[in-house]
Chain A
Amino acid sequence: MKPFSYERATSPADAVTRAAAKPGARFIAGGTNLLDLMKLEISTPAHLVDVNGIGLDTIEKTADGGLRVGALVRNTDLASHAAVTKGYPLLSKAIVAGASGQLRNKATTAGNLMQRTRCPYFYDKNLPCNKRDPGTGCAAAGGYSRGHSVIGVSGNCVCAYPSDMTVALHALDATVEIMQLDRTTRTLPVRDFHLLPGDDLPVGEFALKPGELITAVVLPKPVGGKQLYHKVRDRASYAFALVSVAAIIQPDGTGHVAFGGVAPKPWRSDAADAALPRGAKAVTDTLFADATPTDQNQFKLTLATRTLGAVLIDAKAS
């Protein structure tokens, strides 16, 4: 790990001020992704601003019947909160499908949103990677691509986005609340928070400027319906998704669906949602019409249809 200076912030505004004062500063929350990357010197912040003491660790009802989840709420607490298990069971299920008990005890709402790809080439500093070292190329293109994206990719990067929680947040149409450098707040639909790699370098990742602080994730009023998260992976627990499906299915067959493991961000569209009453194949035909799979990850398209098919059967049965 490269040396770095460290300080604890005492409030959200204090955190933003402290980070702004030190070039190369980064916030640290649970640390479960950032420290991993710092040990490998993939992330090399010169300064860490610890945000664990700034509050933002509560879950509150909003005026319009939704829920405001503080950025520092731990994944375990979010998945266990009564308002979440009752109103947004999809979120609860997605969170506990990810990582391990120990990691979820540390991982925070904002840290989870901001976790970086698990592309093996991103982690291997001996190989080119545009995400890690812009302009060096992408070792995954023409490499081992079984776990990579089948859609939303560019010539610069084909990695998949790893978070389970975020797939649920996309299906639930959540909003991200951000404190800007001037300490005013802006909000962004979570669907716009995650960026596709695109054709420019460095590749797109998050719509967050350096030094901006995520303060909360806001959920709209509960929408009811059957809420299911189905994750397919290489082992039964403690592995990232090959394909995951977050679905909210209403009694009349309408609803929302988002896929994980298939793209550089959770993958969904209004047109695909509109196809839900016509079944799984209608949805994935719409959603993956522009897919560009490799021979190695072609299976994800079949798996996506079948996983959604299984979810729709479960939604009828449960």
Chain B
Amino acid sequence: MDIFREPKVSRRAVIVGGASSAAVTALVPASAQDAKPSTLAASVPEMLKVSFTVNGKVRELELDTRTTLLDALREHIQLTGTKKGCDQGQCGACTVIVDGRRINSCLTLAVMHEGDKITTIEGLGAVGDLHPMQAAFLKHDGYQCGYCTPGQICSAVGMLAELKAGVPSHVTADPAVGPKFSNAETRERMSGNICRCGAYSNIQEAIAEVAGVRS
């Protein structure tokens, strides 16, 4: 028996199981195994309160547990700078910085971020007060249609912090020695951000300028 061999259980059975939670030794109570799935019950969303800080501002939300961090930012806080591309962690358009680290906001639930500090493209800088990475993207024309740009910029900022902290990458010759700033390093580390227009060389120019290396 392995973990993915369990019988499918209904929502109703979960409520029953929850009420009789004293029986912790049996993972799936016999009653639950026998229960017929109820599609009606299965469609009732669960709501939960969560509070986190976005770009310095505390946000208190009550959300369907299914809401991703990406959808919470875009649909509930109206911060639409963060983009939805593939919604499967493959394109990087949804990249935001959580507690100092870049992540894909599409593959994480909003309710998993209680107390976290989230920075989106809107929080990095503003018109008239651009983050150096935003300014460099403008200067080097690091985009064409612009859809992947917020993710590229948040990713680039997080990526340079990782490089500085000595996180190795696939092109680091010796992880024990650590990485050196180079175009090969920044290219490899940005592979999680896809640009369908193919503005990669200008994106790399922008990153190189901020990192202080020649691309």
Chain B contact residues, CB within 8 Å of chain A = 1-6, 8-11, 13-14, 17-18, 21, 23-29, 32-33, 42-46, 48, 64-66, 68, 87-89, 92, 95, 101-104, 107-109, 111-112, 114, 155, 158-159, 162, 165-170, 172, 174-176, 178, 188-193
Chain A interface size, as a band, is: 35 or more
A100-125 to B contact mask, C-beta < 8 Å, 1/0:
11110110000000101000000000
| Inter-subunit contact A202/B46 (CB<8 Å) | no
18 contacts between A and B (CB under 8 A): A2-B42, A5-B14, A21-B21, A23-B27, A23-B28, A24-B13, A31-B109, A32-B89, A39-B87, A76-B101, A80-B168, A101-B102, A102-B102, A182-B25, A206-B2, A208-B2, A208-B3, A209-B1
Known: A3-B65, A6-B48, A106-B107. A47 touches B174 (CB 8 A): no
Known: A89-B176, A100-B92, A209-B1. A3 touches B24 (CB 8 A): no
Residues of chain A within 8 A (CB-CB) of B29 are 23
* Chain B contact residues, majority secondary structure: loop
Residues of chain B within 8 A (CB-CB) of A171 are none
| Inter-subunit contact B25/A102 (CB<8 Å) | no
Q: Say which one of A90-98, A138-146, A247-255, A267-275 lies at the interface with B.
A: A90-98
| Besides the known contacts A24-B28, A30-B108, A76-B101, 10 further A-B residue pairs in the complex with CB atoms under 8 A apart | A36-B88, A48-B109, A96-B170, A100-B193, A101-B155, A102-B102, A102-B103, A181-B27, A202-B5, A237-B188
Q: Say if the beta carbon of A306 comes within 8 Å of chain B.
A: no
Residues of chain B within 8 A (CB-CB) of A236 are 191
Residues of chain A within 8 A (CB-CB) of B104 are 32, 102-103, 106
| Inter-subunit contact A102/B108 (CB<8 Å) | no
| Inter-subunit contact B46/A93 (CB<8 Å) | no
- Name the CB-closest residue of B to A239: B191
Known: A46-B14, A102-B103. A212 touches B176 (CB 8 A): no
